[in-house]
Amino acid sequence: MTGSAVRVGRELLLRLADAGADVAVHHRDESTAAEATATAADARDRGAETAVVAGDVTNPEAVDAFVSDCETELGGVDVLVNAVGPLPGGRWDEIGYDAWRETIAGCLYGTYLCSERVLPGMRDREWGRIVNFGVADARDDRRVPENFPYFAAKRAVLSFTRTLAYDTQDDGITVNAVSPFAVENTVVEGVDYPRGRPASFDDVAAPVLFFCSSAADYLSGQNVAVDGGRLQEA
Predicted confidence (pLDDT) per residue in 102-157, tens digit: 999 999 999 999 999 999 999 999 999 999 999 987 766 666 667 888 888 999 99
CB atoms within 10 A of CB 144: 17
Contacts 24+ apart (CB under 8 A), 66-69: 66/26, 67/114, 67/117, 67/118
Per-residue CA distances from 34 to 10, 29, 31, 37, 39 (Å):
13, 10, 8, 5, 9
Q: Name the β-bridge partners of 79.
A: 129
Among the listed residues 161, 232, 185, the one whose alpha carbon sits nearest the alpha carbon of residue 87: 185
User: What pLDDT band is residue 10 in, cutting at 50, 70 and 90?
Assistant: confident
- Rounded CA-CA distance 217/174 in Å is 7
Q: CA–CA separation, 50 vs 193, rounded Å?
A: 36
* Rounded distance between C-alpha atoms, residue 70 and residue 15, angstroms: 19
Please state, for a pLDDT cut of 90, what percent of the chain lies above it: 67
pTM for this predicted structure: 0.92
Half-sphere exposure of 16 (CA within 13 A, CB side): 28
DSSP, res 195: G
210 vs 28, residue with greater confidence: 210
Q: Which of 17-31, 81-95, 114-128 has the lowest mean pLDDT?
A: 81-95
Q: How high is the pLDDT of residue 233?
A: 58
Lowest mean pLDDT across 154-158, 175-179, 184-188: 184-188
**97-104 and 148-167 helices, crossing angle to 10°:** 20
Q: Is the dihedral of CA 202, 204, 205, 206 positive or negative?
A: positive
Assess whether pLDDT exceeds 50 at residue 19: yes
Question: Mind listing the pLDDT tens digit for each residue in 112-126?
Answer: 999 999 999 999 999
Inter-residue contact 131 to 181 (CB < 8 Å): no
What does pLDDT average to over the chain?
89
pLDDT at 200: 92
Q: What stretch of H or E contains 53?
A: strand 50-54
